[in-house]
Structure 1
Amino acid sequence: MSAQANLTARPAFEPHPGAGAFTASRVFIGRSMHHSLRDGEGLLLAIVLPVMLMLLFTVVFGGAISSDGRYVDFVTPGIIVLCSGFGAASVAVSVNRDVTGGAMQRFRSLSAPASACLVGHVAASVLRNLFATALVLGVALLLGFRPQADAWQWIAAIGVVLAWIVAVTVVFAAIGLLASSPESANGYGFGILFLPYLSSAFVPLDTLPAWLQPAAAAQPVTPLTDAIRSLLAGQDPGGQLGFALLWCAGIVAAGALIVAWRFPRR
């Protein structure tokens, strides 16, 4: 009797047949978070990487870049944006593994919407990245970061960071659906992770080579980082805030279109 029950038992973190979209999404968020906690190497990387990057740029490179000792105030928003990309990159591999490993086909056999699996991956990534952002801010404060933002500027800065995390996560989910294998999914998003290095994230834009400045100014990370930096410094971000939010909205829309086109075909 117990053996038969074990054979017919519903797998852990799989929604009941007929579950609604909200219930299924909640179950899949739990599934993705459970997998993250079980992935010891990935969990360690998520904790260690933000700390190492902050120490690298402030302690190792900070003195060479800025002589006044306040480079930590300049670079912290860039580290937040950079870590968001690294944190979201695992979504491409996770989504592709579900698609190529047969899990998505099993989810489609349930009456619950299989698209909730993608929602689970995206939402879990957002939660992980928010934790990484808090970790970066904590380390930055220990290293001397002193934000001057008031309550509304903090809310605006967190909103911009959240919008970027959602945007880059949706893009990596789309990459996971486009790739043919987890290995290729991991490689396709590599270029996205280099965008912060070609922006104002780590050095002022006018210190870049003249031929590179137009390209650096025209990509999303520059207005995003400038807006977060101004808000945390207690300054008016001006038009950079609007540009940053427009970039995030456009990236989410493009990623969602790719997901809507590709998901039914996988």
Structure 2
Amino acid sequence: MSDVMDRSGPAPTGVAAVDLRVETEGERRLYWAALDCWNVVRRGLTHYRRQPSYIAWQLGFPIVSVLLYGYVFGGAMKPPGGGDYRDFLMPGMFVMTMAFGFMNTAIAVVTDSSKGVIDRFRSMPMAPSAVVAGRGVNDLLVACAELTILAATALVMGWRSDGGLLGTAAAFALLVLLRFSLIWVGIWLGLLVPSPEAAGGLYAVVFPLTMISSVFVPPSSMPDWLGTVAAWNPISSTAAATRELFGNPVAGDGSWIQEHGVLMAVVWPLAVTAVFLPLAVRRFQRLSR
């Protein structure tokens, strides 16, 4: 990219010159920020290629979960309104996989932090936003791969979407939106906890939060107070929305939050992003050099 100083002839003066210089500086900064972000993404993807056991675990766990819940427990479960439990389960498993993925983000971030990788990035002449943004883009790409593999497994098991092309695409878009919002929670937690072991301990907190939802059973089957908590869980909103868009059985109980699942499946992730994206950026900026 060129700037004002590289041009031949007399330098322009006045307000126009200032505006041109600022615009050129902004373009240059944006270019290098995007390039730095891509380098961070490429580094993360290279780790998967060189650590096949890690990617086998991260991509294989959703498949094992689907087979376990679908075939081992599926025969004893009855979906709302009858029908095949797997039709009710699969959208919930898509949601749960997207929700659990942010723990992989947290562990990856705290591992880099504990090894001094983030400090090395901060000492280099690179855009500060590239580290956080690169991690987010990398994990979003992995999430899309997970979702693709999980959907293929569901199709082999006999699950089908009856929502048409538009409804199916909208459902998958909501799943990616949920994962996008939770990535920033994972980055914030990864920068907050002191070690990978401490990050792994967060599963004890995250697992109940994902289970108290409409992923496996409708909230109406729970005690009243617990059903209310489950219905207002953001994960339940995405599960309800994807079931509706896929044309699968919906765990509706007549409550407002359940009846407006699609709306809340957009509102909740946007709210989570609005809270945790600034927290993640601020936490990164406060790291000691």
- Identify the TM-score tier after normalising by the shorter chain: 0.7 to 0.9
Instruction: Give the residue type in structure 1 aligned to 2:183.
Output: T
Matched, 1:31 2:53: no
Question: Given that residues 95 and 118 in structure 1 are in contact (C-alpha distance below 8 angstroms), is that contact kept between their aligned partners in structure 2?
Answer: no
Which is further off, 128-137 or 65-74?
Answer: 65-74
> Is contact 1:85–1:193 with CA below 8 Å preserved after alignment?
no
Q: Specify the alignment match of 1:7 in structure 2.
A: none
Which residue number corresponds to residue 228 of structure 1?
A: 242
Corresponding residue of 1:84: 98
Unaligned runs of 5+ in 2: 1-29, 251-257
Contact 2:171 2:245 in 1 (8 A): yes
1:100-134 CA-to-partner distances (Å, cap 9, x unmatched) read 32212221222211331222211111111111111
| Residue 126 of structure 2 is aligned to residue 112 of structure 1 | yes
1:60-75 mapped onto 2 (5 Å cutoff): 60-66=72-78, 70-75=84-89
Q: Distance in 2 between matches of 1:119 and 1:83?
A: 21
What's 2:280 paired with? 259
1:168-197: CA deviation from partner (whole Å, max 9, x where unpaired): 111111100111112112223542343331
Match of 2:174 in 1: 160
Aligned length: 249
Runs of 4+ in 1 over 3 A off after TM superposition: 234-238
RMSD, aligned α-carbons: 2.2
Q: CA deviation at 1:235?
A: 9.1
CA deviations on 1:148-181 (whole Å, 9 max, x unpaired) are 0122212211210111011111111110011111
Alignment of 1:33-182 (within 5 A): 33-66=45-78, 70-182=84-196
CA distance in 2, matches of 1:119, 1:234: 35
- Give the CA deviation at 1:262: 1.0
Alignment match, 2:267: 246
- Gap runs ≥5 in structure 1: 1-17
Q: 1:20 aligns with which of 25, 32, 39?
A: 32
CA separation of 1:254 and 1:190: change in aligned 2, threshold 3 A: farther
Equivalent residue number for residue 9 of structure 1: none
Q: Distance in 1 between matches of 2:156 and 2:140?
A: 24
User: Which secondary structure state, in structure 1, belongs to the residue aligned with residue 126 of structure 2?
Assistant: coil
Instruction: Return the offset for 1:238.
Output: 5.5
Percentage of identical aligned residues = 28
Tell me if the contact between 1:82 and 1:193 (Cα under 8 Å) persists in the aligned partners: no
Per the TM alignment, residue 98 of structure 1 is displaced from its structure 2 partner at its CA by: 2.1
TM-score by length of 2: 0.80
If the length of structure 1 is used for normalisation, what is the TM-score?
0.87
Tell me which structure has the larger Cα radius of gyration. 2
Query: Cα offset for 1:97?
Result: 2.1
Equivalent residue number for residue 7 of structure 2? none
Give the Cα separation in 2 of the matches to 1:71 and 1:243. 24
The Cα of 1:211 is off from its aligned counterpart by 2.6
